[in-house]
Structure 1
């Protein structure tokens, strides 16, 4: 008898059904379970719930008679309905909670993880070879490039340098409201999307679930065909302009030249290797410059892979890290994505992007949303939860290291060497978001003081003792002694409190 194979909702690509010694049987029935309890437990972004359900139902439609597609209250109930007491296989899930679940079930065999470049055993061996030294992302990235032959000329990095980040930090073009890049791929909704929207409306109307944010039209791929189309369009038409402005922000152009492929990768619709290989092929054919291709490869084969490995390497207790002892709750205006309540133009713009689409690129996430949370001492676990729920590409493995480690510096430096936060001058330099704002990026105190500038110095003051010993922060901390208006600044920060800036 052929053993059925269970697919989670982020295991939807063909590589999760490839047979072999560590894969499901060739003709194995496939189980897909929609568990309502997941949506009851979390207040997800409406667009995220729509995307995940649409992707699962598109996959079920593709598999036809091979699939046992069950809608139930819990995973346990759905699996029982699908296979009864029969055995099933499942590839290693992407969260600690899901792994605990499958290991608690009888007759479930957990197969190795798929959808990533580096097997966990290989990463552990690499980490052990470090001999207790910091597991730096840059070192890991070089190793992955060598192991997979990515952007390599024999034993040397293509172009003679591993990292072309210096070429990819340009300010947005002076006076431009958009980059003028070709538009990204936009899927067309179909009957499956209409069914999903109907179900979500009914759940809300019946009080079964509560969502945040706006839904529709769907902006991100929900099928393998759509994901491949989005990948090819990015590589052919947008990759060439990606690199230089990947850290820039424009109010009227939230997408810039970014790929918008993260949700497809994290749903399992795309494999990371096919993405980076297609990008490298474009460079070798002369269709994209090396700095743009290297930046894209570094995001996927470097950062994404690094975050996945650290999630498992640090373990589930990592989510409780709180080295800075930040415990303030997230205010309601932030939880509700109430961008209209916010006067600071940069934060209002980023929050509106999340509200309307469930997505912003990495700089608004880190230097606007995350930085504001860090400056105001919000609980890092609650911030992680918010990012997980509100972003279409947000999963526990994605957000835990990104938020706890990088954004909130809650691990005290296990992942990064410094807190990532700044005053308004950085935002002004890398965007047009300060134009027309009620606040001034250079002012620390007074009614027109930029909340980020005030918040930056207040953060340094609050953690002065700890940060004075950090070689990357020591000079900034010493700058506190030159602030004649420090007391006024701290008073201004205290007055703001939980009110929207």
Structure 2
């Protein structure tokens, strides 16, 4: 049996063919020299890798070196490796002698199955169509070929604003890991690396995300039993005093390979069939995993190596330093300041703050998509190139002009006001687009539409906002105001 080389995002038992298979694990310090990762992300990745090495014991050869090449020079035996999760890593392993590349693991729909589905489509690819295919193909929440409950998507039931006059959803908090000697060693090493000149962003803090399969499975069980029911209706809502809401906080566990995604999907399906959890909540969770997560993974490979450079809206401005550095204290807009602070302090916010606050603000200002991909990759504990490329380039920044989404995810302050409690105490008014109290999201929305009206393809979903833009008598003043504001913190 050949030795299985596991990357640091391939750490679960489903990446091995046999529980006794010999393993190679490599910790490369150069990875952290090249980019300024969030301190808590660096801690999580190193902790997970070292915990896996400790679990495997003599079964694993664990090498801590400057580069992967340094480690591989010490290995004389043939290796095999599961398909890596980035194009650069795939090119690297395919160029190595005595290394066999196996098909990907850690996802549900295979690359060949996806390509066969996508090749048969006409026009743009849409997640809703893929999701239906995946549900049928993997027999998830179906009766024969039909969806349980009669509808493929319950999304309309899962868009509730947060309950009024509450600080937190009425759900138990997710179980937090207990740090151990490995975490202490990681923290000491990161402190030393910083003294040597390796730079991180964000703040250090207690490890909040699973670093072992046991921790990840415990969080999954807790979520399915105690939190999944409330996840569905409020999955798109935001509360300034409740960053976790009812989200599973398992994205980093899936992306480290600690959890098999299909196992989580089957667990949610069983919770519904036991009548423990409403169908809408279960369907929303299933859609995120075998729908959106697999869709984004497969598109990263299907679209090919040129896709990350897509910039069809000609966004030319660099991401400013205050955003790079997560300088929440420099920002006065309540939503943006609070969400940057959560990211600074936790290395994570859920998908709506990412898309409708962070990504929305960047889209309105015309920041370069490739820089944003790198920023999301480095700043989030669950950030990897494959997941951030399509999410940012295609969905958040609409830089591919709709190859995988129907319209730009851009909105004014009204959306944030409806789906959160941020606007009530903010110095800016979501109804105003001009003046001292003009909401930067509302003003930015109209500026974005005016700047890109000739680039955005016409479709029914954009007809109404473009018609409203034509009726705005003060649009030139709004544009001048936003240009004067520049890229300083709002």
> For this structure pair, what is the TM-score category when the shorter chain's length is used for normalisation?
over 0.9
Moved more, 474-483 or 433-442: 474-483
Match of 1:175 in 2: 165
Paired residue secondary structure (1:181) = coil
Q: Is the 8 A contact 1:165 1:291 kept in 2?
A: yes
Match of 1:74 in 2: 67
1:309 corresponds, among 298, 303, 323, to 298
2:388 maps to 1:399: yes
Match of 1:148 in 2: 138
Give the superposition deviation at 1:471.
2.5
Paired residue secondary structure (1:473) = helix
In structure 1, how many angstroms separate the alpha carbons of the residues matched to 2:3 and 2:176?
34
Provide the TM-score with structure 1 as the length reference. 0.96
Match of 2:127 in 1: 137
Q: Is the 8 A contact 1:468 1:474 kept in 2?
A: no
Match of 2:32 in 1: 39
Residues 482-493 of structure 1 aligned to structure 2 (within 5 Å) = 482-493=471-482
1:245-280 deviations in whole A, cap 9, x for unaligned?
100000000110000010000000001111010011
In structure 1, how many angstroms separate the alpha carbons of the residues matched to 2:323 and 2:128?
33
Aligned-residue Cα RMSD (Å) equals 1.0
2:452 maps to 1:459: no
Provide the TM-score with structure 2 as the length reference. 0.99
Match of 2:224 in 1: 235
2:49 corresponds, among 35, 50, 56, to 56
> Which runs of structure 1 show a deviation greater than 6 angstroms over 4 or more consecutive aligned residues?
none
2:470 corresponds, among 481, 486, 498, to 481
Match of 2:85 in 1: 94
Q: Structure 2: state its 5+ residue gaps.
A: none
Residues 149-298 of structure 1 aligned to structure 2 (within 5 Å) = 149-207=139-197, 209-298=198-287
Match of 1:470 in 2: 459
Give the superposition deviation at 1:352.
0.7
Q: Is the 8 A contact 1:468 1:477 kept in 2?
A: no
Give the superposition deviation at 1:176.
1.5
In structure 1, how many angstroms separate the alpha carbons of the residues matched to 2:456 and 2:125?
21
Q: Structure 1: state its 5+ residue gaps.
A: 20-25
In structure 2, how many angstroms separate the alpha carbons of the residues matched to 1:388 and 1:492?
32
1:75-117 deviations in whole A, cap 9, x for unaligned?
1111222x1x321110100000100110111111001111111
2:22 corresponds, among 5, 20, 29, to 29
How many residue pairs match? The answer is: 490
Q: Is the 8 A contact 1:467 1:474 kept in 2?
A: no
Moved more, 263-272 or 113-122: 113-122
2:360 maps to 1:382: no
Residues 319-334 of structure 1 aligned to structure 2 (within 5 Å) = 319-334=308-323
Match of 1:108 in 2: 99
Give the superposition deviation at 1:124.
1.3
Q: Is the 8 A contact 1:467 1:477 kept in 2?
A: no
2:407 maps to 1:418: yes
Moved more, 488-497 or 272-281: 488-497
